[in-house]
Chain A
């Protein structure tokens, strides 16, 4: 009996999920899927655009070996097209235009010519078709019983530099295929979702005499000013209940991490070091992680949410100047070369507060601004290469990275 239990324990330990351990899955061993378009409305270019978005989404799921060939079939056909007969799954969909130019999508998932999943979708216009594609991929992932990709349906908010001291704040889907400018004109940076529903956001306005934290309701467009500080003001993190903010402010030219209660409007200084303390992030057990140069170079430290003794969290990297946290996991940006100008590679690394292992997540270029999805399944980040910015997605449990380039401008900061 003892032997049985020790084997059981060994078995369960070896399968315990630890995101700092790399998982390498062979593409060949994944089930295959082909896609059939049965659309009746829309021109060929729109049909191809939708097909490509859907293929990209299915690839990002990382659980299927996706066939990239475009094939058509009748929606009600009893058999899949002959080229698709050896695939494990066939996804068939029909786009058709409804009242007031609404876009309707019917989808079925077939296995051995038998329907195993069926869904209908409708959006008010075809400009937002990417959200339908993301929802379809999400539903297929749910059907397959894999860990949730709810982040796929979330919106990304980012600030883009368009000229010196001029920015735009933009809301987009995670692939940047859909973009909507929500704050235009002026110099506004560091947008941050104000709650998990993404119904409002904070940002820093640098157009006033002092840097000012603004709050915008997405549905009404109403904005109000929350707080100002000399020198610097950034909303670094919002608690899960949306009631507490971690701010970086700099009264007297001294950047420190503060907590701010949205209800009582009371602020509390958490760090007091006379150099740079920034980028506070809530982690578990009422603690925060933050970036500080108290050792002579930027690195990641932790302290209690009410302040007190400070502990070093990261022991690798010459210059670790930004971080994001999710429970026990912390992802941070590290400069790998000690020379100021040699390749100047910045890579993202993942650590756990409960173990000593480090996992490098990116391999080259300037990778920064990592942000966890709320469920910790994925990390979104900015990759800057020469004059172009891209948004990157890292699927932690699948060990895969995806890049989505921004057509123009440079991303200043981002939240998910």
Chain B
């Protein structure tokens, strides 16, 4: 019986060490605040110029002119009419959008959530970056990120939908 009680105490300690109810939740709100702070000064500059259109609005309008580049399954080379899209995008970036930085966001379809998929998204962004640089866009303006399969524009289970998710989006940075 003594053994039973002793082992019970040990088991209790073991179970207690496994308790997860006291784990605190990490608050990410400070990160969100940073995003807000970055946007605020931009709007102030636009107001100083007496322009009716804020910088943020102008950037959003220009982003619409930048065509998304699409890719084949498991590939990161730019083919077909995507080549001319990148040329047009480079023209916009060298002219109307020349004052802004460029963020290339690589994305993938849902077939795989592993590191390889994230890397594939990044290589897609890198392929677009190289094409832009060869068209005269300054390399120092360009940053890249990959969201893998975590940023789909379409969530249906169809070939068309998956092909829309294998893409590189353009975002302008102040």
Contacts and interface: CB of A to CB of B under 8 A. Distances in A.
B25 A279 contact: no
Q: Give the bracket for the number of chain B residues in contact with chain A.
A: 35 or more
Contact of A230 (B14, B27, B115, B143): B143
Contacts of B126: 231, 253-254
Q: Kindly name the residue among B14, B32, B123 whose own CB sees the greatest number of chain A CB atoms within 10 A.
A: B123
Contact of B150 (A118, A165, A211, A216): A165
Interface string A196-207: 000000000111
Interface string A174-199: 00001011111111111000000000
Contacts of A132: 15
B119 A250 contact: yes
A321 B7 CA distance: 45
A232 B116 contact: no
Contacts of A321: 112, 114, 116-117
Nearest to A255: B119
Contacts of A386: 157
A209 B173 CA distance: 10
Contact of A164 (B24, B28, B146, B151): B151
A84 interface: no
B118 A234 contact: yes
B126 to A, nearest CB: 4
Contacts of A188: 28
Q: How large is the interface on A (under 10, 10 to 19, 20 to 34, 35 or more residues)?
A: 35 or more
Interface string B123-167: 101100100000000000001111111111100010100100000
Contacts of A369: 113-114
A121 B12 contact: yes
B5 interface: yes
9 contacts: A120-B8, A121-B12, A122-B15, A186-B28, A187-B150, A221-B23, A232-B118, A278-B119, A382-B113
